[in-house]
Amino acid sequence: MSSRTETSHPSSPVSPADIADAGRLIQPRLRRTPVLRDDGIVYKLELLQHSGTFKARGATHALTRALQAGRIGEAGVVAASGGNHGAAVAWAAKELGVPANIFVPTISAETKVNRLRSYGATVHQIGAVYAESLEASSQFIQAEGGFSIHAYEDPHVVMGAGTCAMEMEEDGGPLDAVFISCGGGGLAAGSAAWLDGRTEVILCETETTNAFAASKTAGGRVPVEVSGVAADALGATTIGELAWEIITASPHSNVLVSDEETLAARDWVWDRFRLRIEHSAAVAVAAHRSGRYNTAGKRIGVIVCGANTPL
């Protein structure tokens, strides 16, 4: 399934200038991940970023701005996430010398908990599910005054994420369309804000992690139930409000793929490039390979957004 919308791009809450400023601030601490050209496609290998995903960009930018503004107290930064966002916040906190308190459910995999601890974070395993961990983190903030960074609703996070597309365009040249995996929408929104109407953003989701597609069909943000192989990273139940505002004001399309196509794309990346990517990153590859978006005669890019996956 694919659909296309072309609209004008009015004044955005996140501008290209904001993203350029973010880049100057955070790039000394981050890796400039390479681009790989193959069969005319430009792949941005963001799986090689610190903490294993693009999320290190937004976490580093938001935390740096908060430090500059004097908003970080003794309790440091707080996040509720045993996944990519939590790892990124923990890594950024270590890099910037800030205490990190990360809240995860008791069912979180030991490998994820150990990784958070390897970044120096204090890990609080509270609650049977994420919602209970989130509530515990909120109570901690109220009691201790910790600073919370949202995974995709914070404009500074979106600005940081947008530096990925900025580098991709600088290193890979102008593109007509870029395929981007979408959960809460932070990476897609940052990319759309940087590309500023020059390039169409293709939002890639699975059939069971389809917050953007469902909202587009409904004509506004709606909640969805999520499941499937990519739900651990793309499992936002509602597309972010900030992402919705930016993306729907930009040239964009969306593509849905199945879990089976996602798994096949992950295997294809390994066979072709010997890169092991996480399921969420494989969604963008699967969407491109599905043929549901017509790429004929177009310069195409794919952001390979992460590699936090078992071997």
Structure tokens at 25: 């601030």
pLDDT at 106: 83
Query: Where do runs of H (alpha helix) occur along 48-183?
Result: 55-68, 84-96, 110-118, 130-144, 155-172
Residue 216 parent element (H or E): helix 211-218
How do residues 167-177 score in pLDDT, each as one tens digit?
999 999 999 99
Domains of the chain are 2-54+154-304 (3.40.50.1100), 73-145 (3.40.50.1100)
In Å, the largest CA–CA distance within the chain is 57
Model confidence at 112, pLDDT cuts 50, 70, 90, reads confident
DSSP labels for 18-80?
A: HHHHHHHHHTTTS----EEEETTEEEEEGGGSGGGBTHHHHHHHHHHHHHHTT---TT-EEEE
Reply yes or no on whether the pLDDT at 301 is more than 80: yes
Model confidence at 105, pLDDT cuts 50, 70, 90, reads confident
pLDDT at 6: 43
DSSP state of 238: S
How do residues 60-79 score in pLDDT, each as one tens digit?
999 999 999 999 999 999 99
pLDDT at 7: 44
How do residues 137-192 score in pLDDT, each as one tens digit?
999 999 998 999 998 999 999 999 999 999 999 999 999 999 999 999 999 999 99
- Is the whole-model pTM more than 0.75? yes
In whole angstroms, what is the distance from residue 251 CA to residue 197 CA?
6
pLDDT at 9: 46
Lowest mean pLDDT among 12-16, 92-96, 233-237: 233-237
Residue 122 parent element (H or E): strand 122-125
Reply yes or no on whether the pLDDT at 5 is more than 60: no
In whole angstroms, what is the distance from residue 80 CA to residue 201 CA?
29
Model confidence at 3, pLDDT cuts 50, 70, 90, reads low
**Kind of pairing, strands 77-80 and 147-148?**
parallel
